[in-house]
Amino acid sequence: MKCTLYGRPCNKCDLLEDHLSQAATALDIDYELERITETIDILTAGIMHTPALLIDDEIVVEGKVASFSELKKLLWASHPS
Query: Active-site residue 3, yes or no?
Result: no
Catalytic residue among 3, 5, 13, 54: 13
Dump strand ranges (E) for 7-57: 32-36, 52-55
Q: Which of 8, 10, 38, 67 is catalytic?
A: 10
13 is known as an active-site residue? yes
Task: List C-alpha distances in Å: 65 to 14, 21, 39, 69, 71.
Answer: 9, 13, 19, 12, 10
Question: For residue 2, what are the β-bridge partners?
Answer: 32
Kindly list the catalytic residues: 10, 13
